[in-house]
A and B are shown apart, each in its own frame.
Chain A
Amino acid sequence: MTMNIFVNRAKTSISEKITIELLLMNLRIEKKFIAVEVNQVIVPKSKYKNFHLKENDEVEIIKAIGGG
């Protein structure tokens, strides 16, 4: 079964109850030096493994880039 979530504002179809850990693996995003928000609440890295996403969750994956 699949569900829809929003990843960095883009609607994404993904397997139901996927964890943040697996989502990041699917997207090939390294855990180091990123932050993840679900519905505007930061999820600490230690919880990625057990945090299951739900239908319509808004996930933001954030990193540091060049800036002044």
Chain B
Amino acid sequence: MKDKPLVINDKIYSSRLIVGTGKYKSLKETKLAVEASAAEMVTVAIRRVNIGQDKNQENLLDYIDPKKYTILPNTAGCYSADDAIRVSNLASEILGGEKLVKLEVLGDKKMLYPNISETLKAAEQLVKQNFKVMVYTTDDPLVAKELELIGCISVMPLAAPIGSGLGVQNSYNITSIVENAKVPIIVDAGVGTASDATIAMELGCDGVLMNTAIACSRNPVLMASAMKKAIESGREAFLAGRIPKKKYASASSPVEGSVSFDKE
């Protein structure tokens, strides 16, 4: 069965997995894990250069080639719309004018939950400035729709708090978001292991974005490969359509003609 391809910002992606580049032990490990994941879109953060601390600082983008991968800069660490807009513009300058951005405006340090009012404000401004906004948000279906209507090109609800590894906490909400959406819905944050990613895909999400689950596993390169398969499995299962859940058993072998040793 031929799947409808994932299209983001007019580009077709054959992989539905987007990976982050944080928390790895080295840039070399980052590169190997990204390769094993087969992801075609990779997130990066925007930060000040450490002046004078390391004269031969290596640049992440020398390892993750922007010619090979779609670089999705995030506004992680921003707690206001103004900061997120500033970081988006810096990201665009770093990437030679690219306008794709992952908007993330946080509201609290413990849960790293998005601040929705600032997220909406930033999204509106960035869309006006012609940015192509992929937005990190809560799993609230109404907020997701509003972000779509503002003009975000993808809405990315959390499965669970960032880095928590708890997996999809509210599959009902994620399903509602997917059913109501006309833009790609990508679960962003909260995946802990391969089965979590599969569940997100079985719910009909268009993709999953993850970082910690791969980078902080014991073997990131192997986990990246597991996630690749998990995403593919979940997608195929979604397309194939699961059976309805039943309360009682239903035999797989036909009952008719069975050799019974019981006396009738």
Contact = CB atoms under 8 A, between A and B. Distances in A.
B21 A68 contact: yes
A29 to B, nearest CB: 6
Q: Is the interface of B mostly helix, strand, loop or mixed?
A: mixed
A61 interface: yes
A62 B92 CA distance: 11
Given A29-B49, A62-B90, A67 B76 contact: yes
A2 interface: no
Interface in A8-56: 8-10, 27-30, 32-35, 37, 40, 42, 44-45
B46 interface: yes
B60 A65 contact: yes
Interface string B130-170: 00000000000000000000000000000000100000000
Nearest to A67: B45
A34 B94 contact: yes
B46 A64 contact: yes
A64 B49 contact: no
A62 B48 contact: yes
A27 B23 CA distance: 27
Given A7-B51, A28-B55, A33-B61, A64 B89 contact: no
